[in-house]
Amino acid sequence: MNPRVPLLAAGGGALLAGLYGGLLLLGTPVPAPALPLEAVHGPLMVLGFAGTLIALERAVALGARWALLAPACSGLGVLTLLVTGPGLAGKVLLMAASVVLLGVYRALWRRQPEAALLAQAAGAFAWYAATLLWLAGFTVAEIVPWLTVFVVATIAGERLELARVAIFERHAERWFLAALAALFAGAAAVTVRPADGTQLFGAALLGVVAWLLVYDVARRTVRATGLPRFIAVGLLAGYAWLGVAGVLWAGAGATGGGARYDATVHAVFLGFVMSMIFVHAPVILPAVLRVPLTFHPLLYAPLALLHASLLVRVILGDAFGAAAVWRWSGVANVAAVLGFAACAALSRRAHRRPPVARAALS
């Protein structure tokens, strides 16, 4: 068996468990498991799912078997959280995954030192900082800025790499690094002085969003067709949600719960991160598993459902306090994620059919 398959399965398991925990937090009438999944909903989704995918993709890029220890540790961390809850062992395993991932970036840096890779390594350090604070007794809500830095620095670093190839300008890289440094400073400030640091963090996040909107190649590829356009649409929609989170943090300041917290957190981790995963899956999954995944316009359906249901959740559910709308739009968020997985599986099956059969379906 391809050793990458069980690692990807661990990430998928984290996704399913995290989604179920989300349904419990929404108050939907689903059976409650023995362990409180809602207590680890955030770490499962961000570190267990997204973290495992990122670590696996970076390990494949390096091409060294030891690098698979990073997704292996995060996968084991997921299983431990599911068995024992948010205890010491699960947190340590997730932290160990970030340490190995930093080693992976160090090895990649030796091959080709560049700012894009530095940004991604900074994201891995933010993962480490988040788990270290979690171990120290900080709540999940209190480490959200570091979790945000992890995903934003990783994804923005990858976009910088593409921008250098397509529309690179000398000052663009310096602007990017300055915005990223401000984002790190903001996360550190939130940890020390939440009341003041949150607004700095939000402003820095808006700086990163501004860079992405100006320099990302998605501004050009959105006028293309097929997969390039699909990716660009998802990217630009995700940047819009990241901007919403930046405005909420910069304008309203710190929050550890309630409607504004719900809107801010899900703008980042559903609107931005999940949108990135949707649109990059047709590229990343074939590279990781060495199996083709055919793009089909049907993939637009779950992407549209994700953003439409999140918009309803934030505006009607969070801003206007419509509890029933908030709950069922949250269920629609879950349905969008599961629907994308189903569409991707159908695309894979369509690719495996003989050419004549595929032609008959088109």
Do residues 182 and 144 make contact, with C-beta atoms less than 8 angstroms apart?
A: no
Q: If you write DSSP's letter for every residue of 114-144 in order, what string do you get?
A: -HHHHHHHHHHHHHHHHHHHHHTT--TGGGH
Rounded Cα gap, residues 163 and 55, in angstroms: 22
Which pLDDT score, from 0 to 100, does residue 355 have? Answer: 41
Q: What would the two tokens of residue 32 be?
A: 């409650």
Cα 134 from chain centroid (whole Å): 19
Which pLDDT score, from 0 to 100, does residue 352 have? Answer: 52
Q: How confident is the prediction along the chain (362 residues), in pLDDT tens digits per residue? A: 677 889 999 999 999 999 999 999 999 999 988 888 889 999 999 999 999 999 999 999 999 999 999 999 999 999 999 998 899 999 999 999 999 999 999 999 999 899 999 999 999 999 999 999 999 999 999 999 999 999 999 999 999 887 766 655 668 888 999 999 999 999 999 999 988 899 999 999 999 999 999 989 898 899 999 999 999 999 999 999 999 999 999 988 777 789 999 999 999 999 999 999 999 888 887 777 777 677 888 999 999 999 999 999 999 999 999 999 999 999 999 999 999 988 877 766 555 544 433 332 22
Which pLDDT score, from 0 to 100, does residue 237 have? Answer: 97
Domain ranges in the chain are: 1-112
| Residue spans of alpha helices (H) in the chain | 4-26, 41-43, 52-62, 69-84, 88-111, 115-135, 144-167, 170-192, 194-215, 218-221, 226-252, 258-266, 275-289, 300-312, 323-352, 355-361
pTM: 0.93
Q: What would the two tokens of residue 320 be?
A: 């206007």
Do residues 212 and 164 make contact, with C-beta atoms less than 8 angstroms apart?
A: no
